[in-house]
Amino acid sequence: MLATALPMPRTKRVLPGFGLTLGTTLLFVAIIILLPLAGLVLKAGGLGLQEFWSLVTSERALASYKVTLGSALGASVFNLFLGLLLAWILVRYRFPGRTMLDAVIDLPFALPTAVAGLALTGLFAGNGWYGKLLEPLGIQVAYTTLGITVAMAFTTLPFVVRSVQPVLEDLEPELEEAAQTLGATAWQTFRRVIFPPILPALLSGFVLSLARGLGEFGAVIFIAGNMPYETEVISLLIMIRLEEYDYASAAALASVMLAAAFALLISISLLQGYLNRHSRKS
């Protein structure tokens, strides 16, 4: 007898079909993300090229770019090392209070940034707990670019930790054991076995931290001092232009920051793809 092929059972989908889910997703993306961004671009595009260029390259705007980018970059580099250390401790060690530490890392996500800014200002002011210890040593944090960097580091630290932590958890311990069996030192094991797999996640956390720092507002304005040309970040300058009803200038400055953030995210996506392909080939 010829065997008759039985029809394969259809896999039940938890969600509806591809067309419906994709259409719903794109609709909400368009309403929540694309339309506001399109309005911003159209507002900035209404300016002439010469007027747009003069607005985004004014002396005050350039000073604000410098303060913002320098502080965000410093905070992201700091978080690169501290975030990796925290992720390593949470994954590799068990100790009393570990669950509490794991929860505290997400606090900047839940805490209003203005509250964080007020708390940091109180701590680092001249009469604060930290400030009264640092200022006699000649280290002033509040109302300086260092204070801006501290505020940005506080609000962006979770990006690095949460990017690296799951990758560390998925690493196979047998690889490290094999490296140690072959006589590798602890540094060689980290550099050749552990570091390559976590590098894409580490870079992703760094870029996300940098992108978030560029747009930080609430945690910065209280501790920055907000002195034009000295401690004024670009997000504050945009707010000032809005309060002056200069919507064209605000849109022009905001479009520059939008382009910078978008370029950062695109670059890290391309870099991650390259590193993943390279790691598979090796």
Q: What are 171-181's pLDDT values in tens digits?
A: 887 888 888 88
Angstrom CA distances, 68 to 82, 147, 153, 171, 206, stand at 21, 12, 13, 36, 16
Tokens representing residue 192 in the block: 């050749």
**Is pLDDT of 280 > 80?**
no
Tokens representing residue 60 in the block: 């005050």
What confidence category does residue 197 fall into, taking pLDDT thresholds of 50, 70 and 90?
A: confident
Residue 181's CB: how many other CB atoms inside 10 A?
8
For residue 1, the model assigns a pLDDT of 45
Query: Which of left, alpha, beta for 172 (phi over 0: left; psi -120 to 50: alpha)?
Result: beta
What length does the chain have?
282
pTM of the model: 0.83
Residue 91's CB: how many other CB atoms inside 10 A?
15
For residue 10, the model assigns a pLDDT of 56
Average pLDDT of the chain to the nearest whole number = 85
Residue 25's CB: how many other CB atoms inside 10 A?
10
The mean pLDDT of 187-199, rounded to a whole number, is 87
Q: What are 35-56's pLDDT values in tens digits?
A: 777 777 777 777 778 888 898 9
The mean pLDDT of 91-109, rounded to a whole number, is 90
Please state which CATH class domain 42-281 belongs to.
Answer: mainly alpha
The mean pLDDT of 253-275, rounded to a whole number, is 84
d(CA 187, CA 82): 18
d(CA 147, CA 126): 12
Residue ranges per domain, the chain? 42-281
- Contact call for residues 154 and 109 (beta carbons, < 8 A): no
d(CA 133, CA 25): 52
The mean pLDDT of 119-142, rounded to a whole number, is 90
Name the range with the highest mean pLDDT among 18-32, 72-86, 118-132, 254-268.
72-86
d(CA 26, CA 164): 29
3 burial type by CB count under 10 A (0-12 exposed, 13-18 middle, 19+ buried): exposed
d(CA 58, CA 53): 8
d(CA 219, CA 154): 9
